[in-house]
Structure 1
């Protein structure tokens, strides 16, 4: 349907690889400065981004957000909650959404990827960096060299226990180094996450393996076609985020993006914030940084 005809907060669904419908929502403003494509994190869902979406709408940006496959409403029998079959599929899902935006709007597209979404976004860049003008990474997951061990174990478990099992070993490998309350200092956010029925406990065995692959591929420099080396990339992380790997991990992430060939990579470290900088007590500070980056 025509972009103009879409009401604020209009649902859409798009048929993606392996006959799965990806469900999403469009939050439209008249004559937007750009359209923002949001990729959410692991084991969560699109509805957790409402504060950011309202802020971006108010500042003149239309927003498109979807549930990643195996999350929220983007499920079916073959793809139950927590199941992702391959990294290629989640990248292709974002490509289909990007195509959908382009077919309805001639405005620039900016992308925001949070946590696992930051890994999906960075993998999206390999072939499709020319399709977006700016990229914001939040809760930016760092590469961990132990990922090769995780993949080795993951392959064995998937072979012997099947794709759809829920291995405790893989869960432990996935969440190693995360203590309770790792999401945020914001207690209200922790309570909401705990009581949210769409917040998932775990991935399937295949889902974990896909996440490990997404991390491994962050260092696959040669796979990046680099069609848009001038792409502006901004990372925003909390100074107490356990997923970032400290200052050393963050610097490795920034250095990797520069080594790949991206010229405009910058970062902010937010004081007294943990992983979910978009849902922390001072989230408005993060929103303002994103706005300034988008307006620059």
Structure 2
């Protein structure tokens, strides 16, 4: 069963558009929140949400601010209504609250993809005790260009304004992803599955470059999620599972993938693991063999749910 609703952001009252998919029958065994990636929207996760709902989970995904329908007007796609990168993080609590009240006492899990992994990793700096496990798909690696990139964006903002869309900045941030991948299809870095890439390219609210404000927020999230101090570490036993395509440019490479896991271990998290999928790129859920990823994530959730229930 699907439900659509909105909730006001605690940061500024922005209306966040939410999709919930609930089991058609039986007991709800847990809540899963999905944090989607940049320049996409919640409906792209409907198949995965239906899969989890068929297993007894109540699943919620909201359009991030500046994405999908979480905007004040169509021209605001890619505009975050924030300067700090904090509001998109605080939004997560508001999005999950309805299901928490409707299904009290069940464990809550967070699954994040791409830019969503930046939001999720900043989220657990303060709220790791609100979730029972975290899945990070296609996680963004630690890019040393984030700080100088943010400075450059701010300089251009001073002249062009927050809502200006700079092809130059867009190319700096994501323009290199297709390089080194054979073929002519735009955004082929997303997946081997050409049908998936075609659907993304044909979607009018996917792939649109951020405003300068959006890129400033994005780069701030990269900076913040890799800061070494400021982690409350209320739940050092939090299970964290990194998953990614072995040919995903967003993770950097296999070495960077391991470094991301080690970074969280160094912050004090004691239950961090990862898995790379051969012959897959960035959107592993949408690859031809994406069902393998569905099943691995479900197995992980079930293991953590059963352990959380015993506590």
Q: TM-score range by the shorter chain?
A: over 0.9
Which residue pairs with 1:278 in the alignment? 285
Q: State the Cα distance separating 1:103 from its structure 2 match.
A: 2.2
Which residue pairs with 1:46 in the alignment? 42
Structure 1 stretch 240-249 or stretch 191-200: which is displaced more? 191-200
1:216 aligns with one of 217, 223, 237: 223
SS at match of 2:189: coil
Q: State the Cα distance separating 1:62 from its structure 2 match.
A: 1.1
Q: State the Cα distance separating 1:66 from its structure 2 match.
A: 0.6
How do 1:13-92 and structure 2 match up within 5 A?
13-16=6-9, 17-29=11-23, 30-77=26-73, 80-84=76-80, 85=82, 86-92=84-90
SS at match of 2:86: helix
Which residue pairs with 2:183 in the alignment? none
SS at match of 1:220: coil
2:209 aligns with one of 184, 198, 202: 202
SS at match of 1:222: coil
Q: State the Cα distance separating 1:215 from its structure 2 match.
A: 0.5
**1:197-216 deviation per Cα after TM superposition (whole angstroms, max 9, x unaligned):** 22132000010010001101
How do 1:243-262 and structure 2 match up within 5 A?
243-262=250-269
Q: Distance in 1 between matches of 2:94 and 2:259?
A: 30
User: Contact 2:201–2:207 (CA<8 Å) still a contact in 1?
Assistant: no
Q: Distance in 1 between matches of 2:45 and 2:21?
A: 12
How do 1:229-248 and structure 2 match up within 5 A?
229-248=236-255
TM-score normalised per structure 2: 0.90
How do 1:125-164 and structure 2 match up within 5 A?
125-164=124-163
Q: Distance in 1 between matches of 2:151 and 2:229?
A: 22
Which residue pairs with 1:117 in the alignment? 116
Q: State the Cα distance separating 1:76 from its structure 2 match.
A: 0.1
Structure 1 stretch 173-182 or stretch 51-60: which is displaced more? 173-182
Q: State the Cα distance separating 1:60 from its structure 2 match.
A: 1.5
Q: Distance in 2 between matches of 1:157 and 1:32?
A: 49
Q: State the Cα distance separating 1:25 from its structure 2 match.
A: 1.4
Q: State the Cα distance separating 1:221 from its structure 2 match.
A: 2.1
Pairs aligned (count): 289
Q: Which consecutive residues of structure 2, in runs of 5 or more, have no partner in the other structure?
A: 179-186, 304-311
Which residue pairs with 2:2 in the alignment? 9
1:100 aligns with one of 92, 98, 110: 98
Q: Distance in 1 between matches of 2:226 and 2:139?
A: 14
Q: Distance in 2 between matches of 1:34 and 1:213?
A: 32
Q: After the TM superposition, which parts of structure 1 deviate over 6 Å for at least 4 consecutive aligned residues?
A: none
Q: Which consecutive residues of structure 1, in runs of 5 or more, have no partner in the other structure?
A: 1-7
